[in-house]
Every structure is written in structure tokens, then in C-alpha cells.
């Protein structure tokens, strides 16, 4: 962790060269706009009731994967529109996720990131790497999955409390801007 970042119990011990993953999908059309390379991070402390991906909860599960390998894999598919970073909880590994976002943007890809935490809660962390993710990614789908608010008609979300935040417009206007379906 960088010296100027607050140490947090909410962050896994990873470097910006590796990340703890559960899985990857090389071509998805359900995890964001267009054809996407999806990265499922390992580890989540929220453990939402009826989570669609409970195998990602174990903080020690999955496997460590080198970021060069992930980038090599997404580069093998020249028609992907972008990457989606899902989980688990991607913001438990902010340094590694920030580096993935940087690499994807350098490769001309857009980036969607999921989090069970809200945008506001992520900003309150005052973590340099978290802020870099929010400043560089294109969209954030935020908020915990709440089974009582389940709605299968929502775009890229499972419950109606979750938002698709247009991060570029949010940064530009200085206030949260939601994607308009």
C-alpha cells in the first residue's frame, strides 16, 4: 500500500502487479455495454443475502493472477469494447484494480466497475487508489444487492437500489450523474 494511503481493514493485501481473482470471462454481453472482458475479483465482506456470486466471498479463495497475464488475455480479443471489474468486491484490492483500469484505458478500452459500496462511501475512504479508479473508469455500478428490491428488468443490476453512475459526467459536473436508460 502506498505510504500516503490510509491503511484499512477493508483492503486485501495485494500489490499492483497481482490481484486475487475468482474468475475471468473473455467475452460477455451481460456485464456492461458491448462485448466485454470480465474480471471477477475474489473477496467480499458484505455477503449480501442471495448474492449471485457467493463463491467470491472468501478473502483467501481464488488465486493470485499477474496483471500482465490479464492484459494479455484481453488483448487476445480485438473486438471487445471494454472490461468490467466485478466481484467479490473490487475495492478491497484498490491498488491492483487501479492498475487494471490504467492499463485498460491505455489500450483504448472503456471500464465498468461494480461495488457493493456506494460512490459516496468509496469517496469517503480517502484512498488514493480508490479515487484513481473512480476518476479513470467510465461507469460505476454501486450499492449492495438487496434481495427485497430484486428487479430482473434492470440494466446490469440486480436490485433497484443499485445505480449506474456515469463517472466521466460526474467528475465533469461535480455531482453524481446517473446513466439514463
What domains can be seen in the chain, in order of their start residue? 18-173 (3.20.20.70)
Residue 16: per-residue pLDDT? 61
Residue 181: per-residue pLDDT? 80
What is the mean pLDDT, run by run of 10 residues, along the chain of 181 residues?
Answer: 39 71 96 96 92 91 97 96 97 97 98 98 96 98 96 94 98 96 80
Model pTM score: 0.89
Residue 33: per-residue pLDDT? 95
Residue 124: Cβ-neighbour burial (10 angstroms; 0-12, 13-18, 19+): exposed
d(CA 115, CA 163): 10
How would you classify the pairing of strands 139-142 and 36-41?
A: unpaired
Amino acid at each position: 500500500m502506498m505510504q500516503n494511503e490510509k491503511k484499512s481493514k477493508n483492503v486485501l493485501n495485494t500489490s499492483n502487479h497481482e490481484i486475487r481473482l475468482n474468475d475471468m470471462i473473455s467475452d460477455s454481453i451481460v456485464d456492461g455495454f458491448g462485448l466485454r472482458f470480465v474480471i471477477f475479483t475474489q473477496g467480499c465482506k458484505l455477503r449480501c443475502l442471495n448474492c449471485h456470486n457467493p463463491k467470491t466471498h472468501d478473502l483467501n479463495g481464488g488465486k493470485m493472477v499477474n496483471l500482465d497475464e490479464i492484459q494479455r488475455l484481453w488483448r487476445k480479443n480485438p473486438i471487445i469494447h471494454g472490461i468490467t471489474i466485478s466481484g467479490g468486491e473490487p475495492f478491497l484490492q484498490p491498488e491492483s484494480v487501479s492498475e487494471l483500469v490504467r492499463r485498460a484505458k491505455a489500450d483504448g478500452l472503456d471500464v465498468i466497475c461494480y461495488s457493493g459500496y456506494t460512490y459516496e462511501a468509496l469517496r469517503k475512504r480517502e484512498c488514493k487508489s480508490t479515487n484513481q479508479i473512480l476518476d479513470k473508469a467510465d461507469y460505476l455500478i454501486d450499492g449492495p444487492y438487496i434481495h427485497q428490491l430484486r428487479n430482473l428488468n434492470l440494466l446490469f443490476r440486480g436490485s433497484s437500489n443499485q445505480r449506474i453512475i456515469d463517472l466521466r459526467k460526474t467528475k465533469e459536473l461535480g455531482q453524481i450523474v446517473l446513466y439514463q436508460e
